[in-house]
Structure 1
Amino acid sequence: MLLYLLLVLQTKANAQIDPAHCRYPLGMEDGRIKDTDISASSQWYETTGPQFARLNREEGDGAWCPAGPLEPADVQYLQLDLRQLTFVTVVGTQGRYARSSGNEFARMYRLDYSRDGRVWISWTNRLGKKIIEGNDNAYTSVIKDLHPPVIARYLRIIPVTAICTTVCMRVELYGCPWTDGLIAYSTPEGQILSSPGHPIATLNDSTYDGVLERRRLSGGLGQLTDGVTGQDDFLQTHQYNVWPGYDYVGWSNDSLGPGYVEVEFVFDRMRNFTSMKVHSNNMFSRGVKIFSSVSCWFKPRLIADWEAEPVEFHTVLDDRNPSARYVTVPLGWRTAKGLRCRFFFADVWMMFSEISFRSVNSAIPTQSPPVITSSHPTEDSSMRTTLDTVTTPNKGASTDDNSTSILIGCLVTIILLLVVIIFLILWCQYVCKVLEKAPRRILKEEQTVRLSSSSDTIVLQSPPVPPRVSQMDPHYERVFLLDPQYQGPAVPRNNLPELSQSAEASGFGGGYAEPDVTQCTPHQCFQSSVPHYAETDIVSLQGVTGSNMYAVPAVTVDSLTRKDISVGEFPRHRLHFREKLGEGQFGEVHLCEAEGLLEFLGENTPLPEWDGRPVLVAVKQLRPDATNNARNDFLKEIKIMSRLKDPNIIRLLCVCVSSDPLCMVTEYMENGDLNMFLSQREMESTLTHANNIPSVSMSDLLHMSAQISSGMRYLASLNFVHRDLATRNCLLDRRLTIKIADFGMSRNLYSSDYYRIQGRAVLPIRWMAWESILLGKFTTASDVWAFGVTLWEIFTLCKEQPYSLLTDEQVIENSGEFFRSQGRQIFLSAPPPCPPSLFELMMRCWSRDISNRPSFNCLYQALRPHVTH
């Protein structure tokens, strides 16, 4: 509680951002923004790369310069990753002076921004203008205020020119952290107030950066988060050349009908909410009052249902003071990622200019959330509410008398907090040492792994659990939690049934065929049809990314080491670097342009027909200082990948191994990975068609699922184990063909999907089967488990991480529940658009027993009718 008290005290001091004071340099000039967080669409030379775009600095050749003269139609950008949501108020720019040797600058530029790195928004000023005036010489810095300010993590500065010319830029951003964490709100469209004898007031959200459909704003932020509070008279504004009522968003009770305004809020992560502050107009002489009451519902994740019990708050209305004011609504320490609040009218009109939240980042669920009301307030509660909701201009000596006691209380709280933090650090160090040194426990059937207290508030749909076996499999009696050194017993191959091809798929109803899995029996096409190699039979290749991709039987690797690579040696000088896609423990993955690649590959090229554009490829490059083991693994990976030839597996095109650094050249997928592709889309509907919103249909999702199952069926036929199947490792080309790869671990974008074991491995535990987590056992059956999670990702449109309500440690504990099979394990819930039979297929992929999981051949047979040719 001491930590929470301190956080509340801090948020009281700066709960509302003031754009006039939020003007701190964000770190381009002083280096707090690292070179790795600065990128660009192109660069002229290495010495004019994006890392040299720092205001008032002269490193390199003095600035960032995009490649070639800039044409009016060109779009070149400098991109900055601020590493957190930031309230950006000012942009400063310079040209390239380079100690009198340069004279290039940008006279104009545009600004694009994104809060998640996926959806990009073009900034416009309050009058709808996108172009910002830049520099008129190479050395003077020009500072431009952003009206309205920007709330984003990623920004792109895009130089604009009216004639063909060379431009160079240095920049600095100014602002402060966006601690609210609010990334979007949804409200009814603002309305127009018209009354005789008064100017017309247009009360719309004019700076909203989301979408407007069916008279409702959604998916963006606007005037309710721009830091500008409205005046007592809503017709007066802080801005020039705008219309009356500009600072407020307002609604009429007569127009909306239900007697309330419903506003939904979406946050960047789970938060523990203490209060909400709403700046409301109270000009009751014009029929405007603060809301009479508010009810707020919470939900822990975006695709979950709203919790049944709301927080309610009744406002003490004031008919004597017409001043606009902040109303503080206590939220009772409720945890959520989304809020829905209904503000009830007290008069004809209700107007808001700002809404902000106080919260703690680390959400700690409450056991039984209280319902807060003040419909019959006591004398003390009425006094507290009045102090919160009414602005008192003259506090006088009472404030001075209390300042000393408040300061002493804050200092005592800080000291106690430091003591608690030191104790926690020492305790964590002690626990880590004990876990590292102590022998692994043998988990017995009667022992339980308990989730932490947060599990008491988890609402997860638990479908029927797959049938249990009558006896505990003797292979699973000794469990060594997350111990990669453990070697599972091998399964004799002569005990494995033969593969059956009798699986069929039936037709769909309702326009789509639902996969029929009822014909896949354990004796026909379940996982027993594929050999389950134990760790003693598997050789794992570290690869460039530092991951264990494409584990294969040892005999296969041994035979391959005696054969030549089946792809050609490509001239290294024909690979032209474009950008770095990712990096791992032993190397990097680059996007390159391959000059003359189609002629080099000849008739056997797997690439689509050439359309005049440069051929882009992904190049895995081993670091020159890599260990000998990493070098040998890299060569083995080349030999293995050179023989993988399937339309749904990433293709190795050629290599550069005659000299260091060793490189392998693979296909590059123009549409990126499936995770990013789906997360930027919505389910197809009449609304998406009418508003040109990127969308996917149910048949598209089924087609994608079928392609992945086809690629994995091919790998399984070669006894290859992928170990990291997920949407982040499924790439799409320009024709939306899916190809399975292994780049996901190398990209910082997906670092949160991996759990790092201290001093050992990095594992995608949210996609891993329980035997992989507990036993270190990776087989084709564990890939089937990951395929089920990948299906779940696809049908949630990758809007959420699997088991998003569980911490990494709770995911590991949940795998222990699968091991014990006592009915307490937590399953992923059915995605809303998913056909029931397809969710049943997912559930079979998550069967506790390997023999009950379908094979990839069975999965492909069920999904094959939806593969379009």
Structure 2
Amino acid sequence: MLFYLLLVFQANANAQIDPAHCRYPLGMEDGRIQDHAITASSQWYETTGPQYARLNREEGDGAWCPAGLLQPSDTQYLQVDLGQLTFLTVVGTQGRYARNSGKEFARMYRLNYSHDGQLWRSWKNRLGNKANDNAYVSVIKDLHPPIISRYVRLIPVTKMPTTVCMRLELYGCPWHDGLTSYSSPEGQLMMPPGYPIASLNDSTYDGAHERRKLSGGLGQLTDGVIGQDDFLVTRQYHVWPGYDYVGWRNGSLGSGYVEMEFVFDKQRNFTSMKVHSNNMFYRGVKIFSSVSCSFKPRLIATWEAEPVEFRTVLDDRNPSARYVTVPLGRRNAKALRCRFHFADVWMMFSEISFQSADTVIPTQITPVVTSPWPMEESSMPTTHKTGNLSTLSKDQPDDGNTPILIGCLVTIILLLVVIIFLILWCQYVCKVLEKAPRRILEEEVTVRLSSSSDTIILQTPPVPPRVSQMDHPYERVFLLDPQYQDPAACGGGYAEPDVTQCTPHQCFQSSVPHYAETDIVSLQGVTGSNMYAVPALTVDSLTRKDISVAEFPRHRLLFREKLGEGQFGEVHLCEAEGLPEFLGEGAPLPDRDGRPVLVAVKQLRADATNNARNDFLKEIKIMSRLNDPNIIQLLCVCVSSDPLCMVTEYMDNGDLNMFLSQREMESTLTHANNIPAVSLSDLLHMSVQISSGMRYLASLNFVHRDLATRNCLLDRRLTIKIADFGMSRNLYSSDYYRIQGRAVLPIRWMAWESILLGKFTTASDVWAFGVTLWEIFTLCKEQPYSLLSDEQVIENTGEFFRNQGRQIFLFAPLLCPPSLFELMMRCWDRDIADRPTFEGLYQALRPHRSI
């Protein structure tokens, strides 16, 4: 228990929601948004009413058309009630086509939105208002910034009297935070000598701005974009330095803290608050030193007297920006007021999100303590009230029991103090005893693994003297073999054959050239970051016999959006014109009903290093030979000229983590309220498919190294295909931890021997599969080991290494049958040889599909 009381609630998590992946159609086209939720200021005919304003649909006369000619001064509107607060990222519009008989469309429109249908706000469009060029083509408009609203109005705009008609689809995802507004001091200007001026204002705030205070709106702290480590570097184009952060200078507000108020859609049980803060301490920027949060159960109520207080552990060694998680103790409230106290000259936030339970549980009230024995009526105290004061008195004199009670209480308190002292002393002695073997580990250690012949001599560099009490001791855990294969060189995805399943000569023959450390740091995620056990390839040596897929015409790839990026390349979502005809019959393409085929395109940048280029070509060679229903398939390539590209399948439902996190378990309530849901049978079907895909990779002696729900893609039929895009996407940057500037690792999914020894085998993939199962049966609602910081996760792997029975396992998910959790626990067995194989996992999971 004391261990958990001492936890530092700090996580490098991503934003609560990611605009790049929150792009799901909200139901205009498929009818989930019902007719009564679509209204308009007017309509020309009954057959051009607002209920016909559905994208790609031709009911009625084919669209909504306001009455009469639209004048430049008119404010006719089409309004949609989304039924709940929604994070809106994309608007798609069309004109009236009416089976080639209509020609009316809106060239421009304005966008208004509202949380409650009463107070309306205008969306600030930074890139123009263009809507359509003709009546048939749909125009997909990304909202930069996105908006949070329940009601949306599109107001067509014209420069001359004309007839206007419109069809519509909205894209986004539910806003589970429930936050409707926040208030804060105005962000300030930073003018450091020798650096660019940084404007740290909340530039997209949509509320009131008076007397240097923002109130009643939302802005950059809820836009889903987290700031980078260097606050001068932005994720947006054509903006000023410091754009991603809102910042304040210590002393400028007349106090040592920044006060913010948060208002929510309804009363909630708050479990935690996550604040993404910059920590560039060498520039005078640090995370907040402490925070105090007060609560209001209702907006008209007063602030409750007892706030929740939390003190952070300041970090003067790692300048990385990070999320700080503040526990809120399941307090009930509709509004919060938090005071963030400065730790240095500047404090900067880029995102704030809240975790809460929708069902409000009454706050526990301290019970009235009564006497443990019955009293006679004559000895009961009587209460006399004078004004607001209550006093107790007795009608009879003291019977002599009070001194005895006091003596008993003092004795009990003294006993408790002695017991607590003994517990703390025992823990101190245990830690001292543990230091002896750790001192040995600092020099030369022999570690025996499950195989009797697998003995590794580990030599660690001397540890520099400690410079402060805040230095973390966890670096000593990283005992790297001299032949350590740095996982950053693979960056997820499929790795070299399992070295435990080949002879030393074979493993030597298939060894991969070691990259310089500078290249390892750069190669992360996409674009040739995988290390394969194949001979080195160059552009000149890559021939048609090396790859079994065709060269696709580059000009037929139409860019739609960027899915992710790494140091030397990017992953794009593209439309591939004529791809079904190009690939021929039997191609692994979904039924698009005549719509363009969407594909994922990995593209290598022109400035990539030779190592990155060689890696990219190796990945093409291996991917072209993988063929399994549950493995993402390489469709074609563009390697005849730069930039090098590989074209792979794209799954309509995105990745499994995002898919499950936005759903609930199937129940009567989800059916009644049209809530996206999955059944236990669905989860088991997903588990079987992942085990089948990994069984295929294991049969080829390939090690994935980054198996997780973020790397499992899902189509509309719930077919899963394993991929390797996870590390490249900002959405999942918090799932990876940088080790001493050398490698970026998914430590919460990794086996202990992979973290401590750099040993990656099919058995370590089995460990990751167990964590992936755990994610599935928790519906990806939280990160594995969410109560542990990254350093504590690493320390926990040290407990697996020492095998003294003190290691912490993941808890059993509520949705998981006991037999499946037992299977997960077998995947996390300390001894490699005792873990199941993927063939065994597949055979064990198949019978569960009938549950």
Aligned with residue 482 of structure 2, among 482, 486, 497: 486
1:441 and 2:442 correspond = yes
C-alpha contact (below 8 Å) 1:92/1:144 kept by paired residues:
no
Q: CA deviation at 1:855?
A: 0.7
1:671-710 correspondence to structure 2 within 5 Å? 671-710=653-692
Closer/same/farther in 2, CA of residues 758 and 355 from structure 1, 3 Å limit: closer
1:77-226 correspondence to structure 2 within 5 Å? 77-80=142-145, 149-150=217-218, 153=221, 221-222=264-265
CA deviations over 1:521-578 (Å, ceiling 9, x no partner)? xxxxxx99966999865538987835886654457999x9784210000000100000
Q: CA deviation at 1:584?
A: 0.7
Distance in 2 between residues matched to 1:180 and 1:81, nearest whole Å:
25
Closer/same/farther in 2, CA of residues 775 and 264 from structure 1, 3 Å limit: same
Distance in 2 between residues matched to 1:361 and 1:851, nearest whole Å:
51
Q: CA deviation at 1:791?
A: 0.7
Equivalent residue number for residue 593 of structure 1: 575
Query: What code does the residue aligned with 1:278 have?
Result: K
Q: CA deviation at 1:858?
A: 0.6
- Identical amino acids, percent of aligned pairs: 56
Query: What code does the residue aligned with 1:539 have?
Result: V
Distance in 1 between residues matched to 2:171 and 2:338, nearest whole Å:
23
Distance in 2 between residues matched to 1:443 and 1:752, nearest whole Å:
33
Equivalent residue number for residue 835 of structure 2: 853
Aligned with residue 736 of structure 1, among 718, 728, 743: 718
C-alpha contact (below 8 Å) 2:480/2:756 kept by paired residues:
no
Closer/same/farther in 2, CA of residues 181 and 641 from structure 1, 3 Å limit: farther
Distance in 1 between residues matched to 2:450 and 2:480, nearest whole Å:
29
1:765 and 2:747 correspond = yes
SS of residue matched to 1:851? helix
Distance in 2 between residues matched to 1:442 and 1:96, nearest whole Å:
74
Query: What code does the residue aligned with 1:855 have?
Result: T
Closer/same/farther in 2, CA of residues 731 and 223 from structure 1, 3 Å limit: closer
Q: CA deviation at 1:654?
A: 0.3
1:278 and 2:292 correspond = no
SS of residue matched to 1:736? coil
Equivalent residue number for residue 589 of structure 2: 607
Query: What code does the residue aligned with 1:819 have?
Result: F
Equivalent residue number for residue 606 of structure 2: 624
Equivalent residue number for residue 196 of structure 1: none
Distance in 2 between residues matched to 1:73 and 1:565, nearest whole Å:
37
1:54-69 correspondence to structure 2 within 5 Å? 63=128, 65-66=130-131, 68=133
Q: CA deviation at 1:331?
A: 3.7
Equivalent residue number for residue 306 of structure 2: 329
Aligned with residue 475 of structure 1, among 445, 451, 455: 455
| Structure 1 stretch displaced more, 698-707 or 685-694 | 685-694
Q: CA deviation at 1:641?
A: 0.2
Closer/same/farther in 2, CA of residues 42 and 685 from structure 1, 3 Å limit: closer
Equivalent residue number for residue 774 of structure 1: 756
Aligned with residue 623 of structure 2, among 620, 627, 641: 641
Equivalent residue number for residue 803 of structure 1: 785
SS of residue matched to 1:640? helix
SS of residue matched to 1:603? coil
SS of residue matched to 2:455? helix
Aligned with residue 577 of structure 1, among 559, 562, 566: 559
C-alpha contact (below 8 Å) 1:593/1:614 kept by paired residues:
yes
Equivalent residue number for residue 705 of structure 2: 723
C-alpha contact (below 8 Å) 1:552/1:721 kept by paired residues:
no
C-alpha contact (below 8 Å) 2:527/2:602 kept by paired residues:
no
Distance in 2 between residues matched to 1:267 and 1:58, nearest whole Å:
33
Q: CA deviation at 1:762?
A: 1.0
Equivalent residue number for residue 356 of structure 1: 337
SS of residue matched to 1:664? strand
SS of residue matched to 1:631? helix
C-alpha contact (below 8 Å) 2:90/2:170 kept by paired residues:
no
Equivalent residue number for residue 269 of structure 2: 264
Distance in 1 between residues matched to 2:685 and 2:206, nearest whole Å:
51
C-alpha contact (below 8 Å) 2:265/2:334 kept by paired residues:
no
Closer/same/farther in 2, CA of residues 700 and 66 from structure 1, 3 Å limit: same
Q: CA deviation at 1:598?
A: 0.3
Q: CA deviation at 1:812?
A: 1.4
1:539 and 2:512 correspond = yes
Closer/same/farther in 2, CA of residues 768 and 737 from structure 1, 3 Å limit: same
Closer/same/farther in 2, CA of residues 119 and 538 from structure 1, 3 Å limit: farther
Closer/same/farther in 2, CA of residues 95 and 584 from structure 1, 3 Å limit: farther
Structure 1 spans left out of the alignment, 5+ residues: 1-36, 49-54, 125-140, 157-169, 185-220, 225-262, 283-323, 343-351, 364-370, 377-385, 387-437, 447-467, 490-526
Distance in 2 between residues matched to 1:58 and 1:327, nearest whole Å:
40
Distance in 2 between residues matched to 1:810 and 1:672, nearest whole Å:
31
SS of residue matched to 2:621? helix
Query: What code does the residue aligned with 1:797 have?
Result: L
Equivalent residue number for residue 784 of structure 1: 766
CA deviations over 1:250-280 (Å, ceiling 9, x no partner)? xxxxxxxxxxxxx512433399764524377
C-alpha contact (below 8 Å) 1:81/1:153 kept by paired residues:
no
C-alpha contact (below 8 Å) 2:459/2:481 kept by paired residues:
no
Closer/same/farther in 2, CA of residues 732 and 752 from structure 1, 3 Å limit: same
Closer/same/farther in 2, CA of residues 809 and 735 from structure 1, 3 Å limit: same
SS of residue matched to 1:328? coil
Q: CA deviation at 1:710?
A: 0.4
C-alpha contact (below 8 Å) 1:549/1:742 kept by paired residues:
no
Aligned with residue 654 of structure 1, among 622, 636, 649: 636
SS of residue matched to 2:643? coil
1:368-517 correspondence to structure 2 within 5 Å? 441-442=442-443, 475=455, 478=458, 481-482=477-478, 486-487=482-483
Closer/same/farther in 2, CA of residues 777 and 70 from structure 1, 3 Å limit: farther
SS of residue matched to 2:608? coil
Distance in 2 between residues matched to 1:180 and 1:71, nearest whole Å:
51
C-alpha contact (below 8 Å) 1:538/1:553 kept by paired residues:
yes
CA deviations over 1:18-47 (Å, ceiling 9, x no partner)? xxxxxxxxxxxxxxxxxxx99866899xxx
Distance in 2 between residues matched to 1:561 and 1:174, nearest whole Å:
43
Distance in 2 between residues matched to 1:94 and 1:691, nearest whole Å:
30
Query: What code does the residue aligned with 1:267 have?
Result: S
C-alpha contact (below 8 Å) 2:205/2:219 kept by paired residues:
no
C-alpha contact (below 8 Å) 1:280/1:326 kept by paired residues:
no
Equivalent residue number for residue 101 of structure 2: none
Closer/same/farther in 2, CA of residues 180 and 717 from structure 1, 3 Å limit: farther
1:340 and 2:321 correspond = no
Distance in 2 between residues matched to 1:39 and 1:484, nearest whole Å:
45
Q: CA deviation at 1:837?
A: 1.4
Query: What code does the residue aligned with 1:339 have?
Result: G
Q: CA deviation at 1:864?
A: 2.3
Distance in 2 between residues matched to 1:550 and 1:759, nearest whole Å:
19
Distance in 2 between residues matched to 1:107 and 1:145, nearest whole Å:
34
Distance in 2 between residues matched to 1:610 and 1:681, nearest whole Å:
25
Distance in 1 between residues matched to 2:560 and 2:629, nearest whole Å:
26
Q: CA deviation at 1:103?
A: 14
Distance in 1 between residues matched to 2:205 and 2:341, nearest whole Å:
38
CA deviations over 1:842-866 (Å, ceiling 9, x no partner)? 1111111110111111111111235
TM-score by length of 2: 0.52
SS of residue matched to 2:791? helix
Corresponding residue pairs, total: 534
C-alpha contact (below 8 Å) 1:754/1:763 kept by paired residues:
yes
Distance in 2 between residues matched to 1:56 and 1:704, nearest whole Å:
40
Distance in 1 between residues matched to 2:824 and 2:766, nearest whole Å:
9
Equivalent residue number for residue 285 of structure 2: none
